[in-house]
Structure 1
Amino acid sequence: MAIDPESPLDKLWQEYGRVFQDFDDLTLARWLAQTLGQLEGRAWRLSHPLLGAYRLAAQIAHDRQIWLKRLVTPPAAYLEAPCCRAPLLPLLTRDVLESGLVCQNCSATAVPFEEISAEIQSIVKLWAEEYAPVHAVAHWEDRQRKSAGDYDRAYDNAAREAERLLAQAGAQIAPRFLEFYPALVWEDQDECLEVRPEDIPL
């Protein structure tokens, strides 16, 4: 989660995170390990409140290098993330072809797309390639908007299609990753198309 000091939303998240700033290293490590145990076995929406709390704590832990201190033993099912050596909790986004699966601890690429299991790589690729032109509608230049005739209608159609594709990711694609990871997070919104988590029923 990138921090923009000028953003009111990021300031709010910084306020939320202060509770974890007050944790000592051992307490923070224990909280993270226990929460990872609770997350195990499911594909989670990125917007889920428990995931929001986990990300805040994980980023503070990353800054303090908590996992490198080996204060606690994480749940055995979690592999070590190659990017930061924290327990691997990957995030599936629409940018998976470029960014792979993203680490929830350090926000770097945890699993490059090429390293995703071949059993699901083709499914993910088709989904991401279908999503890309839908998302691109939000970023059309004036020339493209004019050529569409009714841009508002094109935008609304793209938003509806994004809702369908995100629901597909949550219901059909994300659960497939549980064959390879103990838990997975999937992106359930598209801010550019004004698609919110509540627009994505499963």
Structure 2
Amino acid sequence: MALNTDSRLDRLWKEYSLAFQDFDDLTLARWLAQTLGQLEGRVWRLSHPLLGAYRLAAQLGHRRQVWLKRLATAPAAYMEAPCCRAPLLPLLTRDVRESGLICQHCTETAVSFEEIPTTLRAELDAWAARYAPIHAVAHWDNQQRKSAANYDLAYENAVEQAEQMLVTLSTKIMPKLLDHYPAAVWEDQDECLSVQPEDLEL
């Protein structure tokens, strides 16, 4: 019987989130504000443990509406996210053209693709256009796989290209987000191509 790894991972993250359940609203708001101060000025991997902890606390804070209650003051550099009015900590994924920049608090689109500053948007558009056909290899249908002659080789090539593209995103493009946001997060994996954070050599 196959194990549902997604379900197991979800249960694990729910277990991790219990650490914040005992925080009262004021303690939670202060922890979030202090952690935002620690995140400021850097680009972060989505897989970073501090980001994982912040995301769990932020989503709990969103459910409790701690930012709307004004229980703590976020560091001054953070603007208010239009989606939920929490401090804006944007997440950039490979789907940036469709989903824009994602809010770490409510998981909705915080900045649509059209609202990203023009020069940065053009660079992200070019990156996403190059990445899309690489990612698509994981979703080829049977006919596409047969036409490739050696699908395993095509898949392995796509994995290597995806790793290179994600490293390029991290080193060349993400630092430019700091010209517009006090901190930013990037998705450092591609689960469809089995690219994991530890595969990316920065």
- TM-score, reference length from structure 1: 0.96
- TM-score, reference length from structure 2: 0.96
Q: CA offsets, 1:142-172, max 9 Å, x none?
A: 1111111111100000000000000001111
What is residue 182 of structure 1 aligned with on the other side?
182
- Is 1:17 the equivalent of 2:17? yes
CA distance in 2, matches of 1:17, 1:179: 32
Deviation at 1:201?
Answer: 1.3
CA distance in 2, matches of 1:62, 1:7: 23
CA distance in 2, matches of 1:131, 1:107: 23
CA distance in 1, matches of 2:19, 2:196: 27
CA distance in 1, matches of 2:103, 2:153: 36
Deviation at 1:119?
Answer: 2.0
What is residue 118 of structure 2 aligned with on the other side?
118
RMSD: 1.0
Where 2:110 maps in the other structure, the secondary structure is: strand
What percentage of aligned pairs have identical amino acids?
68
Please give the residue correspondences for 1:45-56 in structure 2 after superposition, counting only pairs within 5 Å.
45-56=45-56
| Structure 1 unaligned blocks of 5 or more | none
Deviation at 1:67?
Answer: 0.5
Please give the residue correspondences for 1:59-78 in structure 2 after superposition, counting only pairs within 5 Å.
59-78=59-78
Paired residue type of 1:83? C
What is residue 30 of structure 1 aligned with on the other side?
30
CA distance in 1, matches of 2:147, 2:119: 40
What is residue 42 of structure 2 aligned with on the other side?
42
What is residue 197 of structure 1 aligned with on the other side?
197
What is residue 145 of structure 1 aligned with on the other side?
145
Where 1:70 maps in the other structure, the secondary structure is: coil
Where 2:68 maps in the other structure, the secondary structure is: helix
Please give the residue correspondences for 1:66-105 in structure 2 after superposition, counting only pairs within 5 Å.
66-105=66-105
CA distance in 2, matches of 1:187, 1:170: 9
Paired residue type of 1:50? L
Where 2:91 maps in the other structure, the secondary structure is: strand
User: Larger deviation: 178-187 or 115-124?
Assistant: 115-124
Q: CA offsets, 1:20-60, max 9 Å, x none?
A: 01100000000000000000000000010000000000000
- How many residues are aligned here? 198
CA distance in 2, matches of 1:99, 1:121: 13
Deviation at 1:192?
Answer: 0.6
Paired residue type of 1:177? L
